[in-house]
Amino acid sequence: MASTPSKSQILSLFRSLLRTARDFSDYNIREYTKRRTIDGFRHNRHVSDPSSIAAAYSDAESQLQIARRQVIVYSLYVPKLKSVMEIKHA
């Protein structure tokens, strides 16, 4: 069984997920990924069992790998028009 990750490892994984979310070109996907990351970590905030912490950490690592692959796929199909939320008014 995997050992329990340290607090710094967990925070590093959280930051990596948020950085990966920034790489999405589509506003909706980017915001969804950020929201999902924050909600997932908030949901597991009070987990104290070492095996549950290790399982949640492992799940988050797999989600990070999926998100990194999805960034590549979405970059191949960048929308031609920006979202209304991304248009800056001069």
- Residue 2 above 90 pLDDT? no
Pick the closest to residue 67 from 30, 38, 28 (CA basis): 30
pLDDT category, 14, cuts 50, 70, 90? very high
Cα separation of 54 and 44, whole Å? 11
Look at residue 69 and tell me if it is in a domain.
Answer: yes
Q: Is residue 1 part of a domain?
A: no
Count Cβ atoms below 10 Å from residue 52 Cβ, excluding itself. 12
Instruction: Tell me whether residue 59 is in a domain.
Output: yes
Count how many domains the chain has: 1
- The answer to whether the CB of 21 falls within 8 A of the CB of 33 is yes
pLDDT reported for residue 90: 45
How high is the pLDDT of residue 89? 55
Which amino acid appears at position 50 of this protein?
Answer: P
Dump pLDDT digits (tens) for 28-57.
Answer: 899 999 999 999 999 999 999 999 999 999
Residue 19: inside a domain: yes
User: Does the pLDDT value for residue 8 go beyond 80?
Assistant: yes
What pLDDT, on a 0 to 100 scale, did the predictor assign at position 39?
97
